[in-house]
Structure formats: structure tokens, C-alpha cells
Amino acid sequence: MANNNIKNESITRQEDDFAKWYTDVCLKADLMDYSSVKGFIIYKPYGYAIWEQIQNFLDKRFKQTGHENVYMPMVIPESLFNKEKEHVEGFAPETLICTIGGKNDLEDRLIVRPTSEVLFSELYSKIIKSYRDLPKLYNQWCSVVRWEKTTRPFLRGSEFLWQEGHTMHETEIEARTEALQMLEIYDECGRDLLAIPFSKGQKTEKEKFAGAEETYSIEALMPDGKALQAGTTHYFGQGFAKAFNVQYQGRDGKLAYPHQTSWGVSTRLLGAVIMVHGDDNGLVLPPNVAPIQIVVVPVAQQKPGVIPAARELGERLKKLGYRVKVDESDRTPGFKFAEWEMKGVPLRIEIGPRDIENGVAVLAKRNDGEKIIIKQDELEEKVEVLLKTIHSEMYEKAHRYLLDHMSEVNSLEELKDTVDNKGGYAKMMWCGERACEDKIKEATTATSRCMPFNQIGFGDTCPICGKKAKKLVLFAKAY
């Protein structure tokens, strides 16, 4: 059997410098590259292919739940942008502004969309006239620009790819249900596609989206103990509807304002996948999102019969719909192993002359290095089971890590110790006052991530101010 113990020395080890490990993997697994526009990255084929898998998964679920895709202008007139006050205040500091079009100065400057609430609200003001026009369930796949000072691949960039859903409903309850339903779909995406357990909950007033009445989020926990906000859904109430004069004739014949939501996930999810699952050999991809699920590596491929045997295994799996690569390139198996490990391919199949003689093949799992010798005629059956096993193992590992890093705290000191030393979430009973959140942030840099839906409390007092506790909150340092 070939030596697969060549460790990839071209990336920093996680324990030496996690941040450096992360950017090393982004570059060496060929997910992205930097461009000459500061803060704007290039999504290279392998990175973009992961995003395509996420798009396919979500787009199907969006359509199943009655949503329709549209495409809105990439720029927003400044005059329109200024209509919803809180929203403007939230985004204005980080906008990219066009001032010249066709060699002429623009009278109304154009803001490259940081998000499209105002454009959707304006459209809805034109097309919603009656309760019969509701709900309107639109979604858009596009990129948005937010001018950031410090950027990191996939996690924070001046331009990122995302989807933004924008919906209008007759009643408050319908709109809230929509916001919660979409959070559920994001959660499914974590569970079934990305093998990431999310913590779901509602944002505090301090942390909610600019202009929203309520923001819900999915939060993922990274191995360095920091939380990553991986997606949000918002209930807007009637704020934008009033600012943009979206009115419809209700069932009672009277004019009314509809209730609005928006929701989005972005290429940030790639950052979550990289960090949650990766190791010192590079990327580790869950099978359902991997652009290449199985790589077949011929061993001693110059020997007669080896390449045909590798191809045959590959073809059998392709026929079943798996995404398979047969690596016939002119490199040693060790180099191939290292490359496909770096790229996180979930399952490797090795086949050499002796395997052919014995009618077997070797299956190697990327997530834990386990190797299994199978009979060739069991291939389809074993691969199906193994890919499912890999997914479950990856999810379970991430879930165990999450549970192990969820600590109840009863004082600011305990909270500080948790986020500084142990890492992960400090679960705290909270009075509901912003002052306490501010105090925690000042003392620890940790922020409230969400008020989890699961509100099984463990005390009556906010340990920061001593007042009566109203909510269970997860605090953590965050990306």
C-alpha cells in the first residue's frame, strides 16, 4: 500500500496560528485568490463550485416553499436609499458610490447595493394593490458591496455573493412565520449539506439588523472558540412599507400596510465549512457539498491494467450520480493523496496491481483517515454507506464540540474566563438591558450572539446588574 503519511507542510498548523492556517487553506486548496481591488476576492473554480452546491440546495428549497427568483438593479439611487432612516444609518458608512456615468457627473449618485430592501420595497409599492397580490415571495442571487477596512476571505469582504429574500405578507403572523421558516431552511442546509450544527435564536435589540423589528440568526461555532453569524432572517414590521408607501386594499376594503421580511446567507458559509471541519492537512469537505466526492487514485499506474481498473471504478460511481475524479496525472500517489487531502475530498479510492489481483480496493476517509479494504463488487454499496457515515461523523464531531463549548455563567468573571480561556458560548441569564451587553463587550469584546429558541433558563438574576433576568442569551467572541 502506498504511503499516505506525507503531511502537507505548506500550510501553517492550526495550533500555531489558526488565522494563518485559515488563509493558507483558502489559497492552497485553490478556493480563492486576492484581486488587485483591495478587499475584493476572486472566487476560483473550486471555491465557486462549493458555492454552486449551496445554491442548488437552497434554491430548490426556496422554490419548494413558493419563492420566485428575480433580479434587481445593482445600484440604488442615493435619494431612494435615504428613505428609511435606521437602514441608511446602518449602511451609509460602508457604501461604494458611483458619481460618474457615461463621462457625466450623476445628479443622483448611485450606491452599489449593500443589500436591496429599498429596491424591493419600491417594486412592491408598484405591484401590490390588493390582498390578492399577497404574499409576494421574491428572492435574488447576486453579489453585494460593503466597503470594509479589514477583510478576510469569505468571512468579511468588500464584495460577497449571497441570496437575499424579500417578502411581503398580509399579516404580522404570516411574516413572522416566514422569517422563522427561512431560518429553518438555513438550519437544514447546515444539518444536511454542510454538516454544521447551528445555534438558532433571536438577536437582541443591540445586534439586530438596521431597520428590522426582529432579527433571527444561525450562529456557528469555530474551533478557535469564536462564533460566526452564518445567516439571518428579519421581520421588518411595516417600517419600510410606510417609508415606501406600499399599501394594499385588505379583505375589509380598507387600505393597509403589508408586513415585510428579508433573509440571506452568503459565501460566509464557505468560511464556516473551512473552519468547522478543516485540519492540518487542509480542507475536509462534507460529502454532500463537496464538488468532488470521491477521488480514485491508481497506484503504480504504469503497470498494465491499473488505469483501466481505476477508470472502471470511477465509471461505476459516476453512473450512480456521484461526483468523481479519476486522477491519472503523472505524479506519485503520495503527491496525489496530499493534494486531494488538501482539497478535502471526502473519500479516496486507491487501487494498485495487488488490489486488482485480489479483487479489492482501498477506501480512505478524509475526515478521520480510516482505511477500509473492500471487495470490488461491493463498491456501490460500501461507498453509499461510507459517504453517509462520513457526513454523520462530521456533524457529530462538530456537535460534540459545540456542546462542550456551551458554558453556563453566573458572573462577568465566569463569562470572561469562558470566552478568553475555554472558548465558545457563555450562556447567561440577562435582564434585557443594552447597558449590560455594552458592559460585557467592553470587558471581554464578546457580544450577544442570540437569544436561543430553547429558553430553558438556570437562574432569575442578570449577573451583570443584579436585576431580574428576562432572557437566556449566548455571548461569545465573534467573527
**70 binds a second copy, rule: CB under 8 A:** yes
**44 binds a second copy, rule: CB under 8 A:** yes
What is the closest distance, in whole angstroms, from the C-beta atom of residue 166 to a second copy in the complex?
12
**68 binds a second copy, rule: CB under 8 A:** yes
Site for a second copy in 214-233 (CB under 8 A): none
What is the closest distance, in whole angstroms, from the C-beta atom of residue 21 to a second copy in the complex?
22
What is the closest distance, in whole angstroms, from the C-beta atom of residue 163 to a second copy in the complex?
13
Number of residues that bind a second copy (CB under 8 A): 54
Helix (H) or strand (E) holding 108: strand 104-112
Q: How far apart are CA 391 and CA 194, in angstroms?
A: 9
Cα–Cα distances in angstroms (integers) from residue 174 to residues 141, 178, 179, 186, in the given order? 24, 6, 9, 18
**93 binds a second copy, rule: CB under 8 A:** yes
**48 binds a second copy, rule: CB under 8 A:** yes
What is the closest distance, in whole angstroms, from the C-beta atom of residue 243 to a second copy in the complex?
14
**Residue 290 CB partners (closer than 8 Å, separation 6+):** 50, 53, 323, 344, 345, 346
**431 binds a second copy, rule: CB under 8 A:** no
Long-range CB contacts for residues 310-318, cutoff 8 Å, separation at least 24: 310/349, 310/351, 313/349, 313/351, 313/361, 313/376, 313/379, 316/379, 316/380, 317/379, 317/380, 317/383
Q: Identify which of residues 88 and 443 has a Cβ nearer to a second copy in the complex.
A: 88
**100 binds a second copy, rule: CB under 8 A:** yes
What is the C-alpha radius of gyration for the chain, rounded to an integer number of angstroms? 25
What is the closest distance, in whole angstroms, from the C-beta atom of residue 85 to a second copy in the complex?
18
**315 binds a second copy, rule: CB under 8 A:** no
Question: Judged by CB under 8 A, which stretch of 44-52, 205-213, 427-435, 453-461 contacts a second copy?
Answer: 44-52
Q: Identify which of residues 123 and 212 has a Cβ nearer to a second copy in the complex.
A: 123
State which of residues 131, 147, 180, 249 lies at the interface with a second copy (CB under 8 A). Answer: 147
Site for a second copy in 437-456 (CB under 8 A): none
**78 binds a second copy, rule: CB under 8 A:** no
Q: Which of 132, 119, 276, 287 is nearest to 198 (CA)?
A: 276
User: φ and ψ at 137, to 5 degrees?
Assistant: -125, 85
Strand partners, 216: 202, 233
**52 binds a second copy, rule: CB under 8 A:** yes
Q: How far apart are CA 108 and CA 78, in angstroms?
A: 6
**123 binds a second copy, rule: CB under 8 A:** yes
**54 binds a second copy, rule: CB under 8 A:** no
Helix (H) or strand (E) holding 370: none
**75 binds a second copy, rule: CB under 8 A:** yes
Cβ atoms of residues 95 and 114 within 8 Å: yes
**134 binds a second copy, rule: CB under 8 A:** no
Q: Find cell 482505511 and name the residue.
A: 371
**122 binds a second copy, rule: CB under 8 A:** yes
User: In this structure, what DSSP letter does residue 252 have?
Assistant: T
Q: Identify which of residues 116 and 215 has a Cβ nearer to a second copy in the complex.
A: 116
DSSP states of 275-339 as a string? HHH-BTTB----TTT-SSSEEEEESSTTSTTHHHHHHHHHHHHHHTT--EEE---SS-HHHHHHH
DSSP states of 197-238 as a string? PPEEEE--GGGS-TT-SEEEEEEEE-TTS-EEEEEEEEEEET
What is the closest distance, in whole angstroms, from the C-beta atom of residue 83 to a second copy in the complex?
11
Greatest alpha-carbon span in the chain: 82
What is the closest distance, in whole angstroms, from the C-beta atom of residue 111 to a second copy in the complex?
10
State which of residues 124, 138, 235, 475 lies at the interface with a second copy (CB under 8 A). Answer: 138
Strand partners, 363: 349, 372
**95 binds a second copy, rule: CB under 8 A:** yes
Cβ atoms of residues 153 and 41 within 8 Å: yes
**97 binds a second copy, rule: CB under 8 A:** yes
State which of residues 11, 26, 50, 161 lies at the interface with a second copy (CB under 8 A). Answer: 161
Question: Judged by CB under 8 A, which stretch of 87-95, 299-307, 422-430, 459-467 contacts a second copy?
Answer: 87-95
With b for 16 or more beta-carbon neighbours within 10 A and e for fewer, the 368-391 pattern comes to: eeeeeebebeebeebbeebbeebb
Q: Identify which of residues 68 and 377 has a Cβ nearer to a second copy in the complex.
A: 68
Q: Find cell 487553506 and name the residue.
A: 25
Q: Identify which of residues 49 and 88 has a Cβ nearer to a second copy in the complex.
A: 49
State which of residues 2, 49, 360, 478 lies at the interface with a second copy (CB under 8 A). Answer: 49
**66 binds a second copy, rule: CB under 8 A:** no
What is the closest distance, in whole angstroms, from the C-beta atom of residue 226 to a second copy in the complex?
24
Q: How far apart are CA 437 and CA 441, in angstroms?
A: 6
Q: How far apart are CA 451 and CA 469, in angstroms?
A: 13
What is the closest distance, in whole angstroms, from the C-beta atom of residue 254 to a second copy in the complex?
22
Q: How far apart are CA 138 and CA 120, in angstroms?
A: 9
Catalog residues that contact a second copy under the rule CB under 8 A.
33, 35-37, 40-45, 48-49, 51-52, 68-77, 80, 92-103, 110, 112, 119, 122-123, 126-127, 138, 142-143, 145, 147-149, 158-159, 161
